[in-house]
Structure 1
Amino acid sequence: MISFPSAPPASRSDPPSLPPAPDPAAPSVQDRMAETDPLRRAAEELETVFIAEMLKSAGLNDTPDGFGGGAGEEQFQSFLVRAQAEQIVRSGGVGLAESLFHALKDD
């Protein structure tokens, strides 16, 4: 039997640790402000409804023919459009909530 000398194990140093990634579910400063200010919450709610109606008018509420369809899909489609509108507002929206908030707040 032929034996080959084994190579010494390569010394590996652990890579430097990276700082933890920010939690995407953690509320931002703007989210925390919206939670405490009822006027900002109302303005964001109005913007959410406005964007949801815009999405419906744009045809995002229509179900494609090849998607499967059915009564359940038709019933829950409005929830999807509403969730999309909420996400758009959380991402900065179209500026309607901010404009309403500043126009209506007491200075």
Structure 2
Amino acid sequence: MSSTSIPFGALGANDTAFNNALKKVSPQAQTKAKNSAQDLEAVFLNTMFSQMTSGLKGDGPYGDTVGTGAWRSMLTDQYARSFAKAGGIGISSDVYRSLIMQQAARNS
């Protein structure tokens, strides 16, 4: 299965409009759109994770020591990127579909 036929949108293989749009967009543009969509979802997830952990104090990885803020921000950023790369919460697939549909419309 090639990368252009992998369903990444909400409707998957049954999304004929999306599958037709994929044929009009170069593989390089598809990769760029997918990466951009995942980056956007990672930013959103990072914001959520940062808010979720902002009030934690005490011992352990979220302790209240010097440098904890920098460490916590790097950790939440990696969590967010990992979640987004693994499929996230569905934002990136919808954004990817929208980007591909827009690029296909421009190419037509």
| Smaller-chain TM-score bracket | 0.5 to 0.7
Q: Deviations over 1:10-40 (max 9, x none)?
A: xxxxxxxxxxxxxxxxxxx78xx89x71111
Query: Once the 2 structures are TM-superposed, how far is the Cα of residue 64 of structure 1 from its aligned partner?
Result: 2.4
Answer yes or no: is 1:38 the counterpart of 2:45: no
Report which of the two structures shows the higher radius of gyration computed on alpha carbons: 1
Aligned counterpart, 1:84: 79
How big is the shift at 1:83?
Answer: 0.5
What amino acid is aligned across from residue 81 of structure 2 in structure 1? E
Cα offset, 1:65, TM superposition: 1.5
Deviation of 1:71 after TM superposition, in Å, equals 1.6
1:61 and 1:78 in contact (8 A); partners too: no
Verify: 1:73 aligned to 2:78, yes or no: no
Question: Which residue pairs with 2:22 in the alignment?
Answer: none
Larger RCO (CA within 8 A; separation ≥ 6): 2
Higher helix share: 2
Q: How many residues align?
A: 75
Identity %: 20
Opposite residue 101 of structure 1, the aligned amino acid is: Y
Name 2:41's counterpart in structure 1. 47
TM-score between the two structures when normalised by the length of structure 2: 0.58
Which portions of structure 1, spanning 4 or more consecutive aligned residues, are displaced by more than 6 angstroms? none
Unaligned runs of 5+ in 2: 7-26
Is there any run of 5+ residues in structure 1 with no aligned partner, and where?
Answer: 1-28
Matches within 5 A, 1:9-48: 37-48=31-42
Equivalence for 2:96: 101
| RMSD of aligned alpha carbons | 2.4
Task: Give the superposition deviation at 1:75.
Answer: 1.6
